[in-house]
Amino acid sequence: MKVPRMLALVLSLSLFGTAGVYASSMWGDYEGFSKVKTMINDVEKQFKDETPAFLVKNNAVFPVRELSESLQSLVRWDSAKNTVSIYKPNVHMFVAEKVNDDYSIKSPFGKVPKGKKIDFAVFAQVDSLKTPFYSFKISIETPTGEQAVSPHEKLVNGSKENFWYPWPFSVSFNEVGEYTIKFSVKLDENSDFTVISEKVIVSE
């Protein structure tokens, strides 16, 4: 699978931009280069690293890991080869009150009345995950960012490029707003989870 054009373009600028000096922008400067304000889905991206986004010869340069994770991609760094590898699998999720053994579904939904408790399954369809990984996790967050229920983690510790996976949850939708289902992948045992897909259930 090819990396989406936007992601590929941004990362190529980050890796291959050449040096140049520009006047300070309205956002300030970094090492003599103009800083760039970065918006993702109308939300400003705050970079955790000391290096911010900045301009080199009219090309925007971004920290690779910070930006790719914001765009829900997996990143591997090979220090021996000075190589960054980006993986963007396809992950589609839906929710239904019933998922049969043959993966047929009944009663899919996307909105619920506030206060209702529902037993349902999260169904994840994954393909083009072209790198080995340690585990994946399905979690559900309330509108205030708390865990609605205990997350479910599945150990893989190897390669699994294409798969379908349903898992049952029971959630009381006690808050008004968006409950976010997150599908996350941990590349190595000691690494952090990276969110690579999200789906929203609206409670109203």
Residue 196 has pLDDT above 80, yes or no: yes
Are residues 94 and 82 part of one domain? no
d(CA 128, CA 162): 6
Residue, of 11 and 129, whose pLDDT is higher: 129
Residue 143: the pLDDT is 97
Q: Which domain holds residue 22?
A: 5-87
**Region 144-149: what's the mean pLDDT?**
97
Q: Are residues 131 and 33 located together in one domain of the fold? A: no
Is residue 49's pLDDT more than 90?
no
Domain boundary among 87, 105, 135: 87
Tally of domains in the chain: 2
pLDDT at position 103 is: 63
E strand map for 21-151: 29-30, 33-34, 39-40, 43-44, 54-56, 59-61, 74-78, 83-87, 90-99, 105-108, 111-112, 117-127, 133-141
One domain, residues 128 and 163: yes
Nearest to 118 by CA among 168, 152, 164: 168
* 97 and 197 inside one domain: yes
Structure tokens at 16: 């291959």
Is the pLDDT at 61 greater than 70, yes or no?
yes
pTM of the model: 0.79
Based on the fold, state whether residues 100 and 146 are members of the same structural domain. yes
Tokens 């992950």: give the residue: 91
Clarify whether residues 78 and 170 are in a common domain. no
Q: Is the pLDDT of residue 180 over 90?
A: yes
Residue 155 above 70 pLDDT?
Answer: yes
Q: Which of 87, 113, 141 is the last residue of a domain?
A: 87
35 in Cβ contact with 54 (< 8 Å):
yes
Both tokens of residue 139? Answer: 């979690």
Q: Assess whether 98 and 195 both reside in one domain.
A: yes
Element (H, E) at 66: helix 64-70
- For residues 80 and 103, membership in a common domain is answered with no
User: Of 49, 65, 87, which one is at a domain's C-terminal end?
Assistant: 87
My answer on whether 196 and 124 are in the same domain is yes
φ, ψ for residue 56 (rounded to 5)?
A: -130, 115
Q: Which amino acid is at 115?
A: G
Distances (CA, A) of 182 to 6, 145, 195, 197: 22, 12, 6, 6
Q: Which amino acid is present at 86?
A: I
